[in-house]
């Protein structure tokens, strides 16, 4: 087992919610990552609640060493692109699932 102990924020489309949960579990249990994720499974949220979730997600990126991009089938939506841009501007490493997934 590799003991990386990086803190990463999972970034990906909620269409991959189930996959992200499994990936987060694998990253923590098999690779020693500390995973901060934004998976709530609640589609009936108000606009103020959504704004709070987005602010919290960006704070998680601030606290992370890297962002872990869930790019299943090469899909990266605009929100994830914005999160990647923010992470890059703030000196965070970008890890793509498609590159790392051979190890999972």
Closest CA to 104 of 33, 14, 16: 33
Q: Which residue has the tokens 């189930």?
A: 18
Provide the CATH number for the domain formed by 7-103 in this structure.
3.40.50
pLDDT average, residue stretch 22-26? 93
Residue 23: per-residue pLDDT:
93
* Domains of the chain by residue range: 7-103
Check pLDDT > 70 for residue 41.
no
Rounded to two decimals, the pTM is 0.87
What kind and span of H or E run contains 56? Answer: helix 47-63
DSSP conformation class of 65? S
């Amino acid at each position: 087992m590799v003991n990386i102990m990086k803190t990463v924020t999972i970034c990906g489309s909620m269409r991959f919610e189930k996959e992200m949960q499994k990936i987060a579990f694998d990253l923590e249990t098999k690779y020693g990552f500390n995973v901060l994720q934004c998976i709530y499974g609640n589609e009936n949220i108000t606009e103020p609640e959504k704004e709070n979730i987005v602010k919290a997600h960006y704070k998680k990126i601030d606290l992370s060493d890297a962002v872990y991009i869930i790019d299943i089938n090469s899909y990266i939506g605009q929100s994830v692109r914005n999160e990647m841009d923010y992470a890059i501007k703030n000196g965070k490493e970008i890890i793509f699932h498609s590159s790392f997934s051979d190890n999972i």
